[in-house]
Amino acid sequence: MNTKVLFQDGAAFQTPLLAVFAVDVAVGKDADPMPALLTTSDAVSEAAAVALGSGEFKAGSCETLLLHAPNGVKAERLLVIGLGKVGKLSVHEVRKGAGTAVRFCKPRGVRELAIAFPEDHALSDEHLEALPCDLTTRAIVEGAELAELDWDTYKSDRKDTSVSLCTIVAKDVEKTTKAEIQKGLEEGLAVAAAQNFTRGLVNEPGNVLTPTELGKRAAAMCAEAGLQCEVFSTAKLHELGMGAFWAVSQGSVEPPALIVMTYEPVGGVAEGSPVLGLVGKGITFDTGGISIKPADGMEKMKYDMAGAGAMIGAMKAIAALKPKVKVISVVCSAENMPDGKAFKPGDVVTAMSGKTIEIVNTDAEGRLVLADGLHYAKTLGCTHLINAATLTGAVAIALGKLNVGLFSNSDETAELFMAGLKASGEKYWRLPCTDDYKDQIKSAIADIQNTGITRYGGSITAAMFLKEFVGDTPWIHLDIAACAWLDEAQPWIAKGPSGIGVRSILEWARSYSS
């Protein structure tokens, strides 16, 4: 899709469909909804006046109202898109609204659309503060670009529902605002391309995307983006003493991949500056191993590499947006299979850090590969660590499928991450990993065991396990198991891989830019 910005009056723009946002400005709990268009165009307002006055359209979040041949407007159709209550307006609502516009067009064969930049007619200054120009433009672009994708590459009878052109129409404004909008466009395109790259990786079936293939795709991305990349396999795991990572991999005929991507800002950074370590769980298929999973739903375990996908996508975005901070990503990729050579419950393995681990359940494999990935990232000089992983089913029990579980050993680091959510629009909820939970991973035979003594707080137990390998290094663990795959299509995005993490990890990295 070609997404661009044009500075002109929306009503005078010739397009098959012009999308305009609306908010509900009614105050009071029981007041009837009062939709107000976010446009300064009198022609657009007049064309929609009768329909809006009918009470049919309430400007609820992602609600749509289509008008054909709108009077006094050059567009063939006018699509009004609700952004919900004005008091709750956010950049992310705009992102979802733009996505809704594109996904409205796709099944209807509308190949080109325009989206009217939300303007201040109906809004007080207080509400405009929620929509800074650059972030709003970024959100429109991201929403539109993410919405364009459908996961039908493996269908032989797929229909072409592509949208080829999305023009953001903003009124001719002063130079500084124009520059902000332009910056938002460029950033939005880079971020969306990175997130869509991640989604494409996560969508791939396990027979296509093996650890070796993941390594190849990461290397190809790095070559294009100007990042350094090294992809290692079995020999390197043995050389580094990555006994935990190797234990998971040893039951598969597919060799593991240890992917190391490095971003260095042009001109370098001052001595002692932070070095960020992005560590990803890349299990390209998780059968559970000898502690095998039930057959029902096992096919979904191809997305057990979504943490790796998020980090590879974040590196692509970082390469494009060039923050002044060094970033190293370590992806640990393997297939978790049952086999004559597979690791077994009761085995004791030694991690790269020297810690011994009793394997109680081979299905708790993500924490094993991450244990070595996190330790290795420290040896590469990382001063701040973040990992993303589809780590536990329990996180969906704790938080549902709306919030990612966030764990951290550092309030300051966690707060920096949370501060980026205004721009990213993703949702994270912090859960505890204080030392009171440490007893859960006590082993009778080794230093620690890989599952909890009880099954309560399973996501916290997993976080406690990871914490053993980060020491005093400030660290964030994102358990994305419940949010990396959308079981249902949303008005703004297709069902399937969500690409969760890319936008927020990018913002976190940018917050260390000197």
Residues that bind ligand BES (CB under 6 A): 286, 304, 361, 363-366, 390-394, 451, 458, 481
Q: Reduced to 3 states, what is the DSSP secondary structure of residue 101?
A: helix
In angstroms, the CA 69 to CA 91 distance is: 30
Least distance CB 284 / ligand BES (angstroms): 11
Which CB sits closer to ligand BES, 413 or 449? Answer: 449
Angle between helix 211-225 and helix 306-321 axes, rounded to 10 deg: 10
Stretch that binds Zn ion, among 238-246, 285-293, 393-401, 471-479 (CB under 5 A): 285-293
> What are the distances in angstroms from CA 150 to CA 110, 236, 245?
16, 38, 34
Least distance CB 459 / ligand BES (angstroms): 8
CA 217 to chain CA centroid, Å, is 18
According to DSSP, the β-strands at 326-336 and 348-350 are unpaired
Which CB sits closer to Zn ion, 142 or 204? Answer: 204
Ranges within 354-373 binding Zn ion (CB under 5 A): 363, 365-366
Least distance CB 278 / ligand BES (angstroms): 19
> Pick from 163, 170, 110: which is nearest to 140 by CA?
170
Which CB sits closer to ligand BES, 245 or 512? Answer: 245
Which CB sits closer to Zn ion, 254 or 286? Answer: 286
Stretch that binds Zn ion, among 268-276, 301-309, 376-384, 451-459 (CB under 5 A): 301-309
Q: Which of 119, 145, 150, 286 binds Zn ion (CB under 5 A)?
A: 286
Q: Are 316 and 224 within 8 A, CB to CB?
A: no
Give all strands (DSSP E) within 390-464, no chain letters: 404-408, 428-430, 448-449
Which CB sits closer to Zn ion, 145 or 363? Answer: 363
List 58, 171, 293, 438, catalytic entry: 293
**Nearest residue to ligand BES, by Cβ distance, number only:** 393
Least distance CB 479 / Zn ion (angstroms): 11
Which CB sits closer to ligand BES, 409 or 450? Answer: 450
- Give the HSE-up count for residue 109: Cα atoms under 13 Å, Cβ half-sphere: 1
Which CB sits closer to ligand BES, 392 or 424? Answer: 392
The amino acid that residue 484 corresponds to is: A
In angstroms, the CA 228 to CA 225 distance is: 9
Question: Residue 103 catalytic?
Answer: no
- Structural tokens at position 459: 């996501």
What value, to the nearest 5°, has the Cα angle with vertex 56 and ends 55 and 59?
Answer: 85
Least distance CB 29 / Zn ion (angstroms): 44
409 binds, among ligand BES, Zn ion, none (CB under 5 to 8 A by kind): none
Q: Is 255 among the residues that bind Zn ion (CB under 5 A)? A: no
Full DSSP string of 47-81: HHHHHHHTT-----TT-EEEEES-TT-SSSEEEEE
Q: Reduced to 3 states, what is the DSSP secondary structure of residue 456?
A: coil
Q: Using CB under 5 A, count the residues that bind Zn ion.
A: 6
Cα four-point dihedral sign 137, 142, 147, 152? positive
470 binds, among Zn ion, ligand BES, none (CB under 5 to 8 A by kind): none
Least distance CB 303 / ligand BES (angstroms): 7
List 199, 367, 378, 467, catalytic entry: 367
In angstroms, the CA 479 to CA 481 distance is: 6
> Residues with Cβ < 8 Å from 130, sequence gap 6 or more?
89, 90, 91
Q: Is 479 among the residues that bind Zn ion (CB under 5 A)? A: no
In angstroms, the CA 390 to CA 387 distance is: 10
Question: Residue 293 catalytic?
Answer: yes
Q: Is 304 among the residues that bind Zn ion (CB under 5 A)? A: yes
Q: Reduced to 3 states, what is the DSSP secondary structure of residue 252?
A: coil
102 binds, among Zn ion, ligand BES, none (CB under 5 to 8 A by kind): none
Cα four-point dihedral sign 485, 487, 493, 494? positive
Least distance CB 387 / ligand BES (angstroms): 14
15 binds, among ligand BES, Zn ion, none (CB under 5 to 8 A by kind): none
Q: Pinpoint the alpha helices (H) of 78-154.
A: 91-105, 125-128, 133-147
Site string for Zn ion, 412-451 (x = CB under 5 A): ----------------------------------------
Which CB sits closer to ligand BES, 145 or 363? Answer: 363
142 binds, among ligand BES, Zn ion, none (CB under 5 to 8 A by kind): none
Least distance CB 497 / ligand BES (angstroms): 12
393 binds, among ligand BES, Zn ion, none (CB under 5 to 8 A by kind): ligand BES
Residues that bind Zn ion (CB under 5 A): 283, 286, 304, 363, 365-366
Which sequence positions are flagged as catalytic?
Answer: 293, 367
